[in-house]
Amino acid sequence: MSRSKPAVRKLHELKPGEMADFFAVLSEREKRATRDGKPFYSCKFRDGRRAATCMVWSDDARFAECEGEWRPGLFFKIRATYGEHPQFGPKLDIHNLRIALDADRADGFVESELIDCSRYSPDEMLTELCDLAVESIVDEPLRKLVLNVLEANAAKIKMLPASPRNYYPFPGGWLEHTLSVTKKCWFLTERYREQNADLTPPLNRDLVMAGAMLHEIGRVAELQPGLAPNEPAEQTVPGRLFGHLALGRDLVREAARQIPELNAQLLQLLEHVLLSYLTLPEWGSPRLPMIPEVLILHHADDLDAKMEMYTRCLRKDVAPGPFTERDPILGKPLLKAREV
């Protein structure tokens, strides 16, 4: 008597306890060790709307294969039982898996359904960001600095995420986040300049706008984008040693050497913005903000990052009931059953 194989389903459609075949991309693979020193891998598989974790222990028959052949960005056909851990969220008990084949397209294998990417064209976003620099930065040498840095790194920033895993963690995310933050900074700076018209000197809109456009430029040295949209960005050696704040300051300082007419104090203030906009040491900021322009950038950046995380959780969730699944980045579920 032949046993029928499970139907091919979508990972995000599975309910706890269900076993099915589905396609997924390996988005993360991290080698760890138990308390007694035994190695294991924590792997995260995902489709376009759900991510689930599985552990590959050292005594698992797949351990050597995981260590030697699996790499983030590969597509797999997986047979697994889906579950939900009360603390750690969606998980998989894998029964069988293999790398997806072209022949699997007959069963519904479509790469673009399994990966995240920006909803907007990177080319169009970069053009809009450069146009904003021309429109909003009055100081000509500072405007030249911003445009030179953006244009010199254009190929890379079009492929970069804004962050490796937290907010806008997909190709094109750097531009989507930076453009959004820049627009918010322009609006906020104008409002606060009007509210504080007696401030001497006034809030420097050029400084805020330049800081907004370049606040995460250090990602170009911190991260190496994947060769394909399904391959995650990897942290570079300088990225691990110094982080994007210091690398961004160094990049801007180097570019400024080619613009001798740039006001030295304006450059110094821009460097302070880039180093302090995270504001808190525990967030990675080496210095506390000492000028009000930093506050505008900090709150625009923080709000935009968190809003993307919230809306992505709500947009992709498929859990039954009034709340989303526990989001592993936010560390909580969100209420989604609303009529207003």
Name all domains of the chain by residue range, CATH numbers in brackets: 8-113 (2.40.50.140), 122-314 (1.10.3210)
Q: What is the pLDDT of residue 228?
A: 67
pLDDT at 316 over 50: yes
The stretches of 203-318 forming alpha helices (DSSP H) are 205-214, 219-222, 237-256, 264-276, 292-316
Tell me the average pLDDT across 302-320.
91
Q: How confident is the model at residue 5 (pLDDT cuts 50, 70, 90)?
A: low
List, as one string, the DSSP characters of 77-108. Answer: EEEEEEEEETTTEEEEEEEEEEE--GGGGGGT
Tell me the average pLDDT across 52-75.
92
Tell me the average pLDDT across 181-204.
96
- Secondary structure class of 9 (helix, strand, coil): strand
Closest by CA position to 118, among listed 126, 110, 130, 109: 126
Per-residue model confidence as pLDDT tens digits over 136-166: 999 999 999 999 999 999 999 999 999 988 9
Per-residue model confidence as pLDDT tens digits over 35-49: 999 999 999 998 888
Cβ distance 21 to 8 under 8 Å? yes
Q: Using CA atoms, how far apart are residues 281 and 291, in angstroms rounded to an integer? A: 17
* Residues β-bridged to residue 89: 85
Q: CB-based contacts of 99: which residues, under 8 Å, 6+ apart?
A: 74, 75, 76, 77
What radius of gyration, in Å, describes the C-alpha atoms of the chain? Answer: 23
Q: Using CA atoms, how far apart are residues 89 and 277, in angstroms rounded to an integer? A: 32
Q: What is the pLDDT of residue 1?
A: 45
Q: How many residues does the chain have?
A: 340
Per-residue model confidence as pLDDT tens digits over 89-115: 889 999 999 999 999 999 989 888 888
* Residues β-bridged to residue 22: 9, 78
Per-residue model confidence as pLDDT tens digits over 224-276: 987 666 778 889 999 999 999 999 999 999 999 999 999 999 999 999 999 99
pLDDT at 88 over 90: no
Cβ distance 251 to 217 under 8 Å? yes
Average pLDDT, the chain: 92
Residue type, 331: G
Cβ distance 113 to 47 under 8 Å? yes
Closest by CA position to 77, among listed 95, 55, 59, 63: 95
224: left (phi over 0), alpha (psi -120 to 50) or beta: beta
